[in-house]
Structure formats: C-alpha cells, structure tokens
Homo-oligomer: A and B are copies of this chain.
Amino acid sequence: MIGCMGRWEPNGRGRLAQAALDLYVERGFDQTTVAEIAERAGLTERTFFRHYADKREVLFDGSAMLQQLMVDAAAAAPDDASPLEATAAALVAVGEMFDERREFARRRHSVIVANPELQERELIKLARLTEAIAATLRERGVGEPAASLTAQAGIGVFHVSFQRWVAPGETRRIGELMREGVEELRAVMR
C-alpha cells in the first residue's frame, strides 16, 4: 500500500521533471532530447511519455493546482461580491504561493521566454484558466459576455503582473503588483 515505488527508485515523475528543467536551463529546450532527460532521471524515453503528454508538458505540472486554487477562491467569495471582486479574490489566493517560489519561477520563466513552443503552451494554460474562472462566475449568476470579459481582464492583470514580478531586479510581491494592475486597468477603462 505504501510501496508503489516503480521498479527501482521512488518518484520517477519528480526526477523526470527535475532532470528536464535542469537540462532545459543548461543547454536549451531544443537542444535537449527526451532520451537525455530520461537517461538523467534513470528511466527510459517511453516512460517519460507515460508521465507527460509531451516534451513541453513537464514544465506545466503545477498548472492544474493553480487553476483549482483560483477557481475555489473565486467560488468562495461572498454571494454579494461583484464579478470583479470574485476574480480579484482568485488573484489574491495565488499571491503567497508564488512569493515563496520566486527563484524557481524565474528559472522556469527563463526557459519559457527563450522558446516559442513553450510560450504557446503557457498561453493555452492561461486560456483554460480563463475559461474556468468564467465558468465559475457564470455559476455565480454572472451573464455573458460579462463573465468571459471579467475573467479575461483578471487573467490579463495576472499575466502582466507575473511578467513584472519575475523581471530581474523586481522585489515587490506579486500581490502588490496585481493590486496595482487592477487599479491601473480601472483607470484606463474609465
């Protein structure tokens, strides 16, 4: 019951993720083959593809958890909260988790900005997240297109704030950058 440790070492999945990030940083995404990742993790190429749908997905393992966190936070907002307030609650919810892992985020981000294929994957994760939040708002009684537009604005603020947050030299916390972003967007739409 406790075993389940594959054939040899435990946590093959985690070893693959670690090996992949290391290699992507060391020599670049394109210059890394899946066989090399698997070898460094002490596994085979075929096993890599059992854990991750493709070579890119290994960098996006946390996105499901992020989505769950944000959706839960938006759903838990008080009934009388406005769509924007519920969305803002989702943003606040992820703030702490991000601030704890800034260096990891920078490392990962440096790989992604260097490769268009990875940016595509990041963008579709963001789009799915947007849809999930829009669905949550709809369940809260928000109509269309208001729900989609609000979710889009919220994720837009998140995205812009995230990019500022990982920029070299930036020391403010992501929550502060997101608050500032919401205010700025309000001002611009006024």
Q: Is A123 an interface residue (CB 8 A)?
A: yes
Q: Is A116 an interface residue (CB 8 A)?
A: yes
**Copies of this chain assembled into the complex:** 2
Selected interface stretch from A24-32, A89-97, A149-157: A149-157
Bound Cα distance from A119 to B127, whole angstroms: 10
Please provide the chain A residues from 83 to 120 with a CB less than 8 Å away from any CB of chain B in the complex: 83-84, 116, 119-120
Selected interface stretch from A4-12, A38-46, A67-75, A180-188: A180-188
Other A-B pairs beyond A123-B124, A156-B156, 12, CB < 8 Å? A83-B188, A120-B124, A123-B123, A146-B184, A146-B188, A149-B156, A149-B157, A149-B184, A149-B185, A150-B188, A152-B156, A185-B189
Q: Give the interface of A toward B (CB within 8 A).
A: 82-84, 116, 119-121, 123-124, 127, 145-146, 148-150, 152-153, 156-157, 159-161, 164, 180-181, 184-190
